[in-house]
Amino acid sequence: MRDLAETLRRWHTAGEPYALATVTEVTGSAPCRTGPALAVDRAGAAAGTVSAGCVDAEVYELCREALRTGRPSRRRFAPDPDEPFAPWLPCGGAIEVAIRRVDPAADPLPPGAARDGRERPRLLIFGAVQFADALAAAGRFLGYRVTVCDARAVFATPERVPDADEVVVQWPDRYLAGTQVDGRSAICVLTHDAKFDVPALLAALRSPAGDVGALGSRRTCADRARRLREAGLEPERIARLRAPIGLDLGASTPEQVALSICAEIVAVARGGSGRPLRDVDGPLHRRQPSGAQEMSCR
């Protein structure tokens, strides 16, 4: 299951004991950060992942043992030249995992799982155009709470964008004036129509949103930048705009365009370069940039 927090909330509400493995320490290159990572219920169903698979089987058995005995345990997984067949992280790093039994009748909901889903990072899509639903689906897959906003009621309907968490009929700039965004928020303007784009981008680029991008051809993007300058937007704010939005994947279909856009959103949030990994030096599992989006292991 992609969303461990949602699963923990459901199991906790059901009142049945389960075991929870929490990553308490990460050293070197490792695919997971600290926090709740993998859970196992009485029936043996598992949710989440500790390490993208390389030590999950061992942690799963430790969880089953904790469920049977009620005794907590702690295990460190690291390369060991004396134990070549012991479970370890091929990427070369090390993690420490704490495993315990959770009894909902007596124990509080684990940290991170108690938050309402509406506190997810936000993806605001302005323009219910042909790319909007594919982008909404990709954004939800990445863990964003997705809003699609368009002033045209005939297009801004749940039937056209069923994967959005909410669909709003309103002018984007007016919607932004009355909603909360923060540094984890990403805003994508898809309309490439100046009467929608310019007011929306003036509001978006003056907001604290961490990522603002807009769809359009080179000519459209140049014209849009000119209009923003004429509207009095400061050069440093215009420089924040990612337009044309997305990475160069040769995308053409709505799904491919959504992938291109989301790839750039992830790169911005994580401080990635967007280059092929084979051309990048250094560890693949980089640390979270300060103020960037926090995502749990899934």
Note the CATH architecture for domain 117-270. Answer: 3-Layer(aba) Sandwich (3.40)
Q: What are the extents of the domains in the chain?
A: 4-102, 117-270
Confidence of residue 249 (pLDDT cuts 50, 70, 90): very high
pLDDT band at 136 (very low <50, low <70, confident <90, very high): very high
Residues in the chain: 298
Mind listing the pLDDT tens digit for each residue in 185-210? 999 999 888 899 999 999 999 999 99
Among 19, 54, 53, smallest CA distance to 39 is for 19
> Does the pTM exceed 0.75?
no
pLDDT digits (tens, 9 = 90+) for 108-131: 888 766 554 445 899 999 999 989
When the pLDDT of each residue in the chain is averaged and rounded to a whole number, the result is: 85
